[in-house]
Amino acid sequence: MPYHKNKQQAFQAAQQGTEQARDIYDNIVKDDPDYGVHLKRLKNEVNEAFQQIENALEVASEHQKTQLEQFQQDLQSIMNEVNE
């Protein structure tokens, strides 16, 4: 049973990391004087989320893998938009 718990915890960490990155992205304003600070924070959150996803993929079930891959795509889309 501990193995299952670790899978779930790893997945939840990846999910939370992705949600935090999305929240920061949704609240970022390009004209804000602190845009650079927010952008740096966003990039840090995205990098952390990618790492959490990689960790979760190592132990994930097939269903979780599909969701984790979607999280990766979402994060990549955020970074593509920010880097335009």
Q: Is the predicted pLDDT of residue 8 greater than 70, yes or no? A: yes
Domain that residue 27 falls in: 2-82
Place 1 in a pLDDT band, splitting at 50, 70 and 90.
very low
- Total domains in the chain come to 1
Per-residue DSSP letter, 32: S
Separation between Cα atoms, residue 67 and residue 3, nearest integer Å: 19
Separation between Cα atoms, residue 3 and residue 59, nearest integer Å: 8
Predicted confidence (pLDDT) per residue in 13-65, tens digit: 999 999 999 999 999 988 889 999 999 999 999 999 999 999 999 999 999 99
Separation between Cα atoms, residue 27 and residue 19, nearest integer Å: 12
